[in-house]
Chain A
Amino acid sequence: MLSGCLIRIPAITVGIHDAQGGVPLAILTISRQIGSLGDEIAEALSRKLDWEQINRNQLIQRFFANNTDTREQHLLNESAKFYLTQSRAAGTYLDELERSLFALAQKQSAILVGFGSQIIFEGNKDALHIRIVAPEKVRISRIRRQFRVSESEAVRILETADKKHKRFVSTVYGADLSDFSLYDLTLNTASLSVDECVAAILAIQQEHNERLKIEKESEQSESIDHQSDLPVFKNPSEAEFARILDMYQIDWKYEPKTFPVEWDAEGNVTLAFSPDFYLTKFDTYLELTTMNQKYVTGKNRKMKKVRDLYPGTNIKIVYKKDFYSLVERFNMGSDSYEGDTK
């Protein structure tokens, strides 16, 4: 029977995949204040991920160079209102920009810097939106060093840039650039280095990808994704096993998914299996069993059904003796234990 845990049915979303439908593609949007180190962070991310970084100038060159003249390109660079005027193609320049960006996102992963890309990709689960900020005082100091200008000159540069960014997003998208709900993650570089920010973004991006993978698998099959449920272990053995996985630095998720395995004549689920752990890096589901053999037989039967109904699902049972072997290993502290330790 279905367990009593809360089941969340995910909203259906259109995902981004590469041209072969294989490795999922992703978009990172970076919105940054001038003097916030946002460009440096985008550059470092681009190197680490080996993803193309695209800012406003590159975007204009890439999407509009062939179908606009010099005057139009100048206006695309300088005027927010111009994006809302009729382009040579169907719709406005903004429509054309959005179409081009969506097409790009179908082909490759990318880091989009500025131009309100967080709004274009708002609600797209394959996109993560990052805002990089810093206190005004810190930004002025950085602008002074970067442009070798006086403090008053730095203040002027800062105010002009902030006003221009705000106006662009407000005019083109009718949105407020400083609205926190536009971003998944906001980083303040007052005391965070570029490397620290990059590490934080990479960590959240990896975790996000792993969660999306399960969510998308659930959308494509009858299985049910409930990753948003809080992990509440059903018994101490599960908590102990989670600790063992942590010791081996093996990333896991607790009961991220339910696999329906039997249905009645009306299509209602009558039997389902929610494996205890999912090892994200090894694409393996583990079901822990520390109970009597008669229950193990039932679990084996369910596991076989999961394998039959959901081909390609890698699922295993951790048997009582193996579980206690692992627990004992840590209690013994011997490196000569008869098992995996050497």
Chain B
Amino acid sequence: MTEFKERRIVYTAEDLRKRVAEMGLQISADYAGKELVVVGVLKGSLYFFADLTRAIDIPIGIDVIAIGTIPNTTKQTGVVCITKDLDLDITGKHVLVVEDIIRTGLTTAYLVQNLDARRPAGIKVCSLLVNPAQQLINIPIAYLGYEINDAWLIGYGMDVHERGRSLPYIAELDRR
């Protein structure tokens, strides 16, 4: 079992509740009268997605998608793939992809390209956290919770080897 030591709480449960409510309000205003499907990216966005969708007060469809990486077995190959696809048809609908954190942006780029091929009316990205210094691909983030630095974070869906996801707050880890 992986042990970790929290250094400090970065965002309390109350901080998160307030920020997510603000984001939900903004999304509700922007998508009023439009057919919106909110897509949560598993597993990291689990809690954020649950809170955000409940903070949106317009009718929406909700769905989840999961992306996995199959490791390289031959040193030459490795595959990024969708391990759980959408159940809803997004053709002609507005799609909001909900991420917990965007670092390099490679995963988000892969996902947006994949969903875009299904001809939705539009795709926007919502992320609770982003590390601009680490971002390699400029995916426009329409709705953003907080900008972060290189800190190791845990909680509110984010894990270290599957530990710590269920913490109601986001904490920075001690790197020792």
Identify the A interface with B (CB < 8 A): 243-245, 247-250, 279, 281-282, 284, 286, 314, 316, 318, 322, 326, 329-336, 338-342
Contacts and interface: CB of A to CB of B under 8 A. Distances in A.
B137 A342 contact: no
B142 interface: no
B80 interface: yes
Given A247-B78, A247-B79, A333-B70, A340 B138 contact: no
Interface of B: 41-45, 66-72, 76, 78-80, 83, 99-110, 113-114, 134-139, 152, 158-162
Given A244-B106, A284-B138, A342-B107, 14 more contacts: A243-B76, A244-B78, A245-B106, A247-B78, A248-B80, A282-B137, A282-B138, A333-B70, A333-B71, A338-B159, A340-B105, A342-B43, A342-B44, A342-B66
A332 B70 CA distance: 9
A336 B159 contact: yes
> A-side binding surface: helix, strand, loop or mixed?
mixed
B137 A284 contact: yes
A284 to B, nearest CB: 6
28 contacts: A243-B76, A244-B106, A247-B80, A248-B80, A248-B107, A249-B110, A249-B114, A250-B106, A250-B109, A250-B137, A279-B137, A282-B109, A282-B139, A314-B138, A318-B136, A322-B104, A322-B136, A330-B78, A331-B71, A334-B161, A335-B68, A335-B69, A335-B83, A336-B43, A339-B103, A340-B105, A342-B42, A342-B45
B13 to A, nearest CB: 21
Contacts of B72: 330-331
Contact of B107 (A282, A330, A334, A341): A341
A338 B44 CA distance: 10
Contacts, number: 92
B163 to A, nearest CB: 9
A314 B136 CA distance: 10
A340 B103 contact: yes
Given A332-B71, A340-B108, A342-B42, A249 B162 contact: no
Nearest to B79: A247
A316 B45 CA distance: 27
Contacts of B138: 282, 284, 314
Contact of A316 (B68, B100, B114, B136): B136
Given A249-B113, A250-B106, A314-B138, A342 B100 contact: yes
Nearest to B162: A336
Nearest to B108: A340
B7 to A, nearest CB: 15
Nearest to A283: B138
A244 B105 CA distance: 13
Contacts of A342: 41-45, 66-67, 99-100, 107
Nearest to B114: A249
Given A250-B106, A322-B134, A330-B69, A338 B80 contact: no
A322 B152 CA distance: 13
A289 to B, nearest CB: 12
Residue of A248, A332, A339, A341 with highest tally of chain B CB at under 10 A: A248
Contacts of B67: 341-342
B71 A330 contact: yes
Contacts of A338: 152, 158-160
Contacts of B44: 342
